[in-house]
Structure 1
Amino acid sequence: MAIDQDRLWQRLETLSRITDPERPWTRRSFTPRFLEGREWLAAQFRGAGLETGLDAAGNLFGRLPGADPALKPILIGSHSDTVPSGGRYDGILGVIAALEVAQSLGERGERLRHTLEVVDFLAEEPSEFGLSCIGSRALAGALSEQHLALARPDGMTLRDGIAFVGGRPDEIASARRPADGVAAYVELHIEQGRVLENERIPIGIVTDIVGIRRERITVTGRADHAGATPMPLRADALVGAAKLVEAAHERALATARDEQPLVATFGRIEVSPNAANAVPGEAVLTLEVRSGNEAAVAAFGAGLLRDLRPTLEALRLAIAVEPISHVAPTACAAGIRKAIADAAASLGLATRNLPSGAGHDGVFVARTEPIGMIFVPCLDGRSHAPEESITPGQAGDGARVLAETVRRLDAGLG
């Protein structure tokens, strides 16, 4: 099926430029800038002839009715929110390519048997509420009252945030899809790594999405004057935090040659009093662990703290751990992987199987339906950074494979 690559690229560039001007490429969920992008997207959905609207969780849907209303819909899309300074193509490629597929079908007069739904999931990236994949959690029935009560630093709760973007938090249960409610979900995404580019392969077929665990670790010492407190008498919380960071790095590095290696990151540290002339009395760190090995992900933090506790106690430091979230690894469906492989082969595009080291909405969507993911290369593997970049041809290749995959699934699924 032909797609309009120029239109696809123009839309990608237009949406990416809806950004905080002082910090490109930033369009954070639950902000006026995000709503500006959503308003533009909804207009594009309607202009493409799609039945357009928000569900109760604030997910944006565009619907292209199929010929057989008894068949379950096929769902394609991704997300339009970004991390700070890093979302030029991450997420939006999947949304814009899905829109292009649906519009091209309509323009050709080609009607699928299944209804095709294009989705922009709300807040896939970690939000200021400390939660990611908010819209897809709701679709899976995994967005709880406790989640809705989470508050960001300015006091807004997630319940308020969903209402802010046009959702209906009091009706959140209506956004849930039953386990047999959708025929398949397929998402096109940039790889966010270097495998495809290094091997000069245009299409990646995702085998599984890694598990991700996040924990909040608080190291408590004693705040003192930095000049008047002798070194042997200090209880410096940041020294303890540094030991945690170093030990986590070494432990994760040791798994590099494993069949399912593990990565561990302390990406956020808050220090108090955070003054040049004060010994830190408290350090709050966020530990994130990722791997396809579920047991290793679950055990990493506990093992790290168990082994370091004597060292921290010798430094007169106390340590507390609070789990934030845990998502198990998710396999992509064999049938969808085959459809992607056959689609790419029919277009003369080489493929490679590979896991996704990043989290995606598909982790939650998989609780209700089979999922598949298509990767295209990104420049030097850069993502979540201003340098994130792809070419029009790479975007076009991904959209063509997505379109052909949809056609094959439509023909083969009941």
Structure 2
Amino acid sequence: MRRNLDASAEAIGRDIDALARITDPGRPWTRRAFSPRFDEGRDHLRRRFVAGGLQVSTDAGGNLIGLRKGTRPGAGTIMLGSHSDTVPDGGRFDGIAGVVVALEVARILARRGAVLRHDLAVVDFLAEEVSVFGVSCIGSRAMAGVLPQDWLGRTSDGRDLARAMADVGGVPESLHGPLRDDLKAFLELHIEQGPVLEAERIGLGIVTAIVGITRVEIVISGRPDHAGTTPMGLRADALAASARIVTQIEARATELSAGPAHFTATVGEFEISPNAANVVPARVRMLVDIRAERARDKEAFVTWLTGLEAAPGITVETRLISDNPGVGMDDGLQRKLAEAADGLGAACRRMVSGAGHDAAFMARLCPSAMVFVPCREGRSHCPEEWAETADLALAAEVLANTVMELDRKREG
């Protein structure tokens, strides 16, 4: 039986609804980083942080931070948060719920009259989603000191990333290392973005690891010919060859996913040329997104991809586009979160995150952990994305109790 909560589902719902109304006209819900709508959302959050008793600032990485001062200078900071930007036509809760719940944790502590030794920080990371500059997790990479310097020169609509970061209050010229050395723990709330919790009727997930993500480009080259006069047996059809490769990828990934560790592989981009009805396809480019809990599974799959054999007249070329390792979440924080859930009589389960999150970069700075809540039908990155405010309130209570327990823990 769950105990009564100090968290307010109504307040969480109001804050999420208010941000949802800040969207590009006719495009629910679109508030992309570095856009006027994103700036409007940031202004709203700034006001809500102040109303929640937080001191507001923007760091050099363009992250919006609300601070609740602790009583012991130098004790360090416990940070909570996520991101407020969205994908195009994305959801109301992805990232946004994590920022709003972090703010609710600060309000819960105020209602309780809780006095913390540590500082408490609520963060809205800049551009967690893939931005107009083609890169993601900009704010958390900057905070962790791993934002590539060459990214600052990426351009979109005549503005480079450095200028865009400065326009939201960042100081990109000072990004030469980690921005924080005071963090004792980082906690992030997020919707699951998958169907497991809802299917199992469990209100909370505790993330054990965030998968590694590798992307491989495959180019299949054949020969363009007349579609009506070239006999079927004499063609070098790049599309037909690529269709066989896609089928092989799906079959191999399905085999790996049946094992004990999380694994997925997706052909998410696909281009054909010359893309004419009366021409035998000459070239296909595809991008394979590979996500794995275990590095060895990912490495084995990439090795298999690079060894794919070409049919007569067909060449297959592979190129590694990006490779981010998986990140384990802190065992001690996982235990604290589970204990907090148990203290409320709330069921929870351990699970792997198949999506990337800011917590993966925060883990470079301090012990980090994540809590998932169910989302309807597992839908995310779409207008239909939905999470229940009652689940978010429960997560806020768990996080608040975990923060208080961490604050009680003696240094060392």
Q: Is structure 2 residue 148 aligned with structure 1 residue 144?
A: yes
Q: Which amino acid aligns with 1:355?
A: V
Q: 1:316 aligns with which of 314, 327, 330?
A: 314
Q: Is structure 2 residue 195 aligned with structure 1 residue 191?
A: no
Q: Is structure 2 residue 372 aligned with structure 1 residue 375?
A: yes
2:83 and 2:125 in contact (8 A); partners too: yes
Q: 1:197 to 1:131 in 2, by over 3 A?
A: same
- Deviation of the 1:27 alpha carbon: 1.9
Partner of 1:355: 352
- Deviation of the 1:279 alpha carbon: 4.3
1:80-229 mapped onto 2 (5 Å cutoff)? 80-152=84-156, 154=157, 156-173=159-176, 176-178=179-181, 181-223=182-224, 226=227
Partner of 1:266: 267
1:378 and 1:390 in contact (8 A); partners too: yes
Partner of 1:336: 333
Q: 1:291 to 1:80 in 2, by over 3 A?
A: same
Q: 1:290 to 1:226 in 2, by over 3 A?
A: same
Q: Is structure 2 residue 397 aligned with structure 1 residue 393?
A: no
User: SS of the residue aligned with 2:102?
Assistant: helix
Distance 2:226 2:17 in 1: 52
Distance 2:22 2:253 in 1: 37
Distance 1:413 1:320 in 2: 52
* TM-score w.r.t. length of structure 2: 0.91
Question: What is the total number of aligned residue pairs between the two structures?
Answer: 407
User: SS of the residue aligned with 2:205?
Assistant: strand
Q: Which amino acid aligns with 2:81?
A: G
Quick one: percent identity of the two aligned structures? 47
Structure 2 alignment gaps of length 5 or more: none
Partner of 1:251: 252
* TM-score w.r.t. length of structure 1: 0.91
Partner of 2:38: 34
User: SS of the residue aligned with 1:394?
Assistant: helix
Distance 1:120 1:57 in 2: 11
1:379 and 1:388 in contact (8 A); partners too: yes
- Deviation of the 1:364 alpha carbon: 0.9
Q: Which amino acid aligns with 1:208?
A: A
How large is the Cα RMSD of the aligned pairs? 2.2
Structure 1 alignment gaps of length 5 or more: none
User: SS of the residue aligned with 2:40?
Assistant: helix
- Deviation of the 1:70 alpha carbon: 1.2
Q: 1:279 to 1:27 in 2, by over 3 A?
A: farther
Q: 1:320 to 1:400 in 2, by over 3 A?
A: same
1:65 and 1:116 in contact (8 A); partners too: yes
1:199-255 deviation per Cα after TM superposition (whole angstroms, max 9, x unaligned): 222111111111111223333445555556555555444334323322211110011
Q: Is structure 2 residue 62 aligned with structure 1 residue 58?
A: yes
2:262 and 2:352 in contact (8 A); partners too: no
Q: 1:343 to 1:282 in 2, by over 3 A?
A: same
1:102-140 deviation per Cα after TM superposition (whole angstroms, max 9, x unaligned): 133235432211100111111112233332211111111
Deviates more, 1:169-178 or 1:73-82: 169-178
User: SS of the residue aligned with 1:252?
Assistant: helix
